[in-house]
Amino acid sequence: MKQKFDINRFKDNAFKYFGIACTLFGLAVLSVFLINILIEGLGRLNWQFFTSLPSRKPEKAGILICLLGSIWIMFLTALIAVPLGVASGIFLEEYGKKNKFASFIEINISNLAGVPSIIYGLLALEIFVRILGLGKSLLAGSLTLSLLILPIIIVSTREAIKAVPKSIREASYALGATRWQTIWFQVLPAASGGLLTGVILAISRAVGESAPLIVIGALLYITTIPTSPMDDFAVMPIQIFNWLSRPQKGFIENATAAIIVLLLITFMMNGLAIYLRNRWQKKIKW
Partner 1 sequence: MVNKKEKIIESILMLCATVSVLTTIGILWVLISESSSFFSKVSIKDFLTDTQWTPLFAEKHFGILPLISGTLLTTFIAILIALPTGLSIAIYLNEYAPKRFRKIVKPLLEVLAAIPTVVYGYFALMVVTPFLQKFIPDMAGFNALSPGIVMGIMIIPIISSLSEDALYSVPKALREASYGMGATRLQTSFKVLVPAATSGITVSIILAISRAIGETMIVAIAAGQQPRLTLNPLVPIETITTYIVQVSLGDVVQGSLEYQTIFAAGIALFVLTFILNNISYFIKKKFQEKYE
To the nearest whole angstrom, how small is the minimum distance from the Cβ of residue 111 to partner 1? 6
Closest by CA to 257, choosing from 46, 30, 35, is 46
Residues 214-233 that bind partner 1 (CB under 8 A): 214-217, 219
Q: Is 103 in the site for partner 1 (CB under 8 A)?
A: no
What x/- string results for residues 35 through 74 when contact with partner 1 is judged by CB under 8 A? -xx-------------------------------------
To the nearest whole angstrom, how small is the minimum distance from the Cβ of residue 106 to partner 1? 9
Interface with partner 1 by CB under 8 A: which range of 46-54, 60-68, 185-193, 256-264? 256-264
To the nearest whole angstrom, how small is the minimum distance from the Cβ of residue 257 to partner 1? 12
Interface with partner 1 by CB under 8 A: which range of 46-54, 55-63, 161-169, 175-183? 175-183
To the nearest whole angstrom, how small is the minimum distance from the Cβ of residue 263 to partner 1? 7
What is the C-alpha to C-alpha distance for residues 255 and 240, in angstroms, rounded to an integer? 5
Q: Is 234 in the site for partner 1 (CB under 8 A)?
A: no
Q: Which of 87, 171, 175, 230 binds partner 1 (CB under 8 A)?
A: 87
Q: Is 135 in the site for partner 1 (CB under 8 A)?
A: no
Q: Is 114 in the site for partner 1 (CB under 8 A)?
A: yes
Minimum CB distance to partner 1 smaller for 170 or for 227 = 170
Minimum CB distance to partner 1 smaller for 37 or for 53 = 37
What is the gyration radius of the CA atoms in the chain, in angstroms? Answer: 24
Q: Which of 134, 154, 190, 222 binds partner 1 (CB under 8 A)?
A: 154
DSSP per-residue letters across 242-266 = HHHTS-SHHHHHHHHHHHHHHHHHH
Q: Is 192 in the site for partner 1 (CB under 8 A)?
A: no
Minimum CB distance to partner 1 smaller for 129 or for 190 = 129
Q: Which of 140, 240, 257, 261 binds partner 1 (CB under 8 A)?
A: 240
Q: Is 123 in the site for partner 1 (CB under 8 A)?
A: yes
